[in-house]
């Protein structure tokens, strides 16, 4: 797949010199957007380092698309500033950006490679080159059999993939994907995860919005959680997970004994196991008390909180439930 994403420096294409003065791909501060009476985005700050895979998580209507559209310069914020590669007028560096909008759509009568070339031409890539690269990309993405097909002859998922390839054909430095996983089956979701990883390995910054926390957990170094037009958390996935104490799960041979006083008062039963938060003093003193108190340890595990649990804590149960209702029944594993 690396050929697919054979990334060259791209600043020359746009006539704008590559910016080396900032390590940030995106810096957005205090973004606010109103649509009539609706306050869609209420003061969003997002900072995306270059080369990151960055996830924007939030339930329906949270303000993800509006935020991305402001960052891209498709709409202007009512308040706040945003910079892409240090440039505060994103349109000026449009050729360095690839954008997959949430609303999918290509001309049904166009050939797939022409559709990719057309999208590339909107970002400054000559059509002939776009067609050549389009065919190459389709071949490498497993759609070689469809290069001569028209969009209307493709399945919905295949057409969506063609649109994604059109987003990448001009070799952008920054790729912004709005809900790229929705509408794809489990196999294609897995392929898309691989493609996103490959883009990042080649130095491209990738930002995607999603309802499905598992994609972000597998792919992202950093995330922003958007809920109700605000960002209650933006930062590393690891730090978000560390906001919750790890959970201990303990099974013992003996039901009772002096060891029981070592368990925190909040410990609960889950079948044969005790479940509780890892005490602040750590596992060693607890282990000592269990051994000396003759618990007869059968099994003991310590599990770090996942991003989903962190999301529930940060954004709230309601937001998590709203997200979960959108998760596909079949999940892919990394």
62 near ligand ATP, rule: CB under 6 A = yes
60 near ligand ATP, rule: CB under 6 A = yes
Measured CA to CA, the distance from residue 127 to residue 107 in angstroms comes to 16
What letter does residue 150 receive in the DSSP assignment?
Answer: B
- Ranges within 68-107 binding ligand ATP (CB under 6 A): 102
Of 57-65, 142-150, 273-281, 313-321, the segment contacting ligand ATP by CB under 6 A is: 57-65
Edge-to-edge strand ranges of the sheet holding 273-277: 268-270, 273-277, 247-252, 297-303
Judged by CB under 6 A, the residue of 15, 18, 38, 187 near ligand ATP is 38
Judged by CB under 6 A, the residue of 40, 115, 165, 174 near ligand ATP is 40
Q: What is the dihedral of CA 197, 200, 202, 205, to 10 degrees?
A: 150
- Ranges within 141-160 binding ligand ATP (CB under 6 A): none
Of 53-61, 113-121, 139-147, 308-316, the segment contacting ligand ATP by CB under 6 A is: 53-61
Judged by CB under 6 A, the residue of 26, 31, 57, 66 near ligand ATP is 66
Contacts of 115 (CB under 8 A, 6+ apart): 106, 107, 134, 151, 162, 163, 166
321 near ligand ATP, rule: CB under 6 A = no
Residue with tokens 């390590």: 23
Dmax (CA) for the chain in angstroms is 78
63 near ligand ATP, rule: CB under 6 A = yes
202 near ligand ATP, rule: CB under 6 A = no
Under 8 Å between Cβ of 223 and 214: no
120 near ligand ATP, rule: CB under 6 A = no
Q: Is 277 helix (H, G, I), strand (E, B) or coil?
A: strand
Binding site for ligand ATP (CB under 6 A): 35, 38, 40, 58, 60-66, 102
């Amino acid at each position: 797949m690396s050929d697919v994403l054979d990334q060259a420096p791209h600043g020359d294409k746009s006539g704008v010199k590559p910016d080396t003065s900032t390590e940030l791909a995106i810096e957005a501060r205090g973004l606010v957007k109103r649509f009539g009476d609706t306050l869609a985005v209420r003061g969003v700050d997002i900072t995306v380092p270059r080369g990151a895979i960055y996830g924007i998580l939030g339930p329906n209507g949270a303000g993800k698309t509006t935020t991305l559209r402001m960052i891209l310069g498709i709409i202007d914020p009512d308040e706040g500033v945003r910079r892409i590669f240090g440039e505060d007028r994103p349109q000026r560096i449009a050729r360095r950006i690839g954008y997959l909008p949430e609303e999918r759509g290509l001309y049904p009568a166009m050939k797939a490679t022409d559709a990719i070339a057309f999208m590339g031409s909107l970002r400054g890539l000559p059509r002939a080159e776009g067609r050549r690269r389009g065919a190459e990309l389709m071949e490498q993405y497993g759609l070689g059999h469809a290069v001569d097909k028209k969009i209307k002859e493709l399945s919905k998922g295949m057409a969506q993939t063609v649109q994604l390839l059109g987003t990448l054909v001009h070799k952008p430095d920054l790729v912004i994907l709005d809900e790229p996983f929705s509408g794809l089956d489990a196999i294609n979701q897995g392929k898309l995860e691989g493609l996103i990883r490959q883009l990042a390995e080649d130095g491209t910054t990738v930002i995607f919005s999603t309802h499905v926390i598992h994609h972000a957990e597998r792919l992202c170094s950093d995330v922003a959680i958007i809920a109700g037009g605000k960002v209650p958390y933006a930062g590393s996935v690891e730090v978000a997970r560390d906001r919750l104490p790890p959970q201990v799960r303990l099974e013992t041979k003996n039901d009772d004994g002096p060891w029981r006083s070592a368990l925190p008062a909040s410990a609960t039963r889950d079948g044969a196991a005790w479940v509780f938060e890892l005490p602040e003093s750590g596992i060693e003193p607890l282990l000592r008390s269990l051994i000396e108190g003759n618990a007869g340890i059968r099994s003991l595990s310590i599990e770090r909180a996942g991003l989903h649990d962190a999301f529930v804590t940060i954004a709230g149960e309601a937001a998590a439930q709203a997200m979960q209702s959108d998760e596909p029944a079949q999940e892919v594993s990394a």
